[in-house]
């Protein structure tokens, strides 16, 4: 497993030197490969707000210090979830049952209660984690719209564009369920961004386990992946060839993995480690991801302690 040794300067570069990206052309078509726009959205936010990199650098420094001193949350954190449904068609106006199925998946995945948790290979059994964070459905807000797709520029979160503003974003996790388009299943805002856009957007075709959820993204893992970003987790390959996800107990990955890779899948990065393709922060199909690591758990827990960027959610 890799070690994380980053200076403050290196951290600042990590959060500020992102590749600029162009906005994706919206499309309502179903996708065959997982697409998460969290990193691209972050790059756009940094371009619009140069101070965001500094705030994220401070969050990362606090996270690393908290992890190294073991000053982490004991017990469980329960997060109220507000679900904002933006719909044009009957299918997009997803049922309460579909929404609840997603809440159920989050509770299982973040508490090692998912049925496939025991499928984690022996190589990673020592680092597979019970994160110990739970979720409760707080409110569902629905709004009819004429939009065919919303893209990844946070318009679904803004009333001026016909969207829905977040509800109590400093104490509640807001999910926006809509047609995103552009081959994107969902995206999240990392800690440090504006509260006016804080939360997670998920395409209605990839939410939960019933209703309109489409195979191979019909097990609710898109939300698990995106909430991981919302809790300060990076893609496991670090969004670069042999990059860093800032976690010490995950192997270095070449790049994103798709589908359901055969195990063991070896990296060609230094040391040629077996990749943790079943980690929620990879890009595999829903049935191919079923674990967080202890290091990822520590990163998430650091958000909720006193002084953490999501401490307002309460301990």
Q: What pLDDT is stored for residue 34 in this prediction? A: 87
What band does 8 get if pLDDT is binned at 50, 70 and 90? very low
Classify residue 290: in a domain, yes or no. Answer: yes
**pLDDT tens digits, residue range 65-123?**
887 765 555 557 899 999 999 999 999 999 999 999 999 999 999 999 999 999 999 99
C-alpha R_g of the chain: 18
Choose between 99 and 22: higher pLDDT: 99
64 SS3 class: helix
Q: What pLDDT is stored for residue 112 in this prediction? A: 98
Active site (annotated) includes residue 226: yes
* Mean pLDDT of all residues in 172-179: 98
pLDDT at 21 over 60: no
Q: What pLDDT is stored for residue 35 in this prediction? A: 80
CATH number of residue 86's parent domain: 3.40.390.10
pLDDT at 192 over 60: yes
What band does 26 get if pLDDT is binned at 50, 70 and 90? very low
What domain range is 163 assigned to?
8-304
Classify residue 190: in a domain, yes or no. Answer: yes
Classify residue 297: in a domain, yes or no. Answer: yes
Classify residue 2: in a domain, yes or no. Answer: no
Q: Give the number of domains in the chain.
A: 1
Summary mean pLDDT of the chain: 90
Classify residue 315: in a domain, yes or no. Answer: no
* Mean pLDDT of all residues in 293-306: 94
Q: Among 40, 92, 226, 275, which one carries the catalytic annotation? A: 226
What band does 315 get if pLDDT is binned at 50, 70 and 90? low
Q: What pLDDT is stored for residue 283 in this prediction? A: 98
Classify residue 310: in a domain, yes or no. Answer: no
What band does 276 get if pLDDT is binned at 50, 70 and 90? very high
pLDDT at 13 over 50: no
Classify residue 312: in a domain, yes or no. Answer: no
């Amino acid at each position: 497993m890799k070690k994380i040794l980053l200076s403050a300067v290196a951290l600042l570069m990590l959060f500020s030197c992102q590749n600029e990206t162009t906005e994706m052309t919206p499309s309502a078509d179903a996708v065959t490969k997982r697409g998460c726009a969290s990193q691209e959205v972050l790059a756009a936010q940094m371009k619009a707000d140069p101070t965001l990199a500094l705030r994220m650098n401070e969050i990362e420094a606090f996270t690393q210090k908290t992890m190294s001193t073991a000053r982490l949350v004991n017990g469980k954190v329960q997060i109220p979830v507000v679900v904002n449904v933006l719909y044009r068609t009957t299918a997009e106006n997803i049922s309460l049952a579909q929404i609840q199925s997603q809440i159920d998946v989050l509770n299982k995945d973040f508490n090692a209660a998912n049925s496939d948790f025991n499928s984690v290979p022996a190589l990673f059994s020592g680092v597979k984690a019970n994160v110990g964070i739970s979720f409760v459905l707080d409110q569902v807000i629905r709004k009819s719209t004429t939009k065919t797709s919303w893209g990844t520029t946070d318009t679904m979160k803004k009333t001026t564009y016909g969207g829905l503003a977040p509800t109590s974003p400093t104490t509640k996790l807001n999910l926006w369920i809509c047609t995103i388009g552009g081959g994107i299943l969902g995206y999240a805002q990392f800690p440090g961004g504006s509260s006016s856009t804080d939360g997670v957007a998920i395409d209605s075709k990839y939410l939960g386990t019933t209703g309109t959820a489409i195979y191979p993204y019909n097990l609710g893992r898109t939300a698990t992946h995106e909430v991981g970003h919302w809790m300060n987790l990076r893609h496991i390959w670090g969004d670069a060839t042999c990059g860093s996800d800032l976690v010490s107990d995950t192997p270095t990955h070449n790049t994103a993995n798709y589908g359901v890779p055969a195990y063991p899948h070896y990296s060609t990065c230094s040391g040629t480690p077996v990749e943790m393709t079943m980690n929620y922060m990879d890009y595999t199909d829903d049935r191919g991801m079923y674990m967080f690591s202890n290091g990822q758990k520590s990163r998430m827990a650091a958000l909720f302690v006193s002084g953490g960027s999501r401490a307002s959610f309460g301990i």
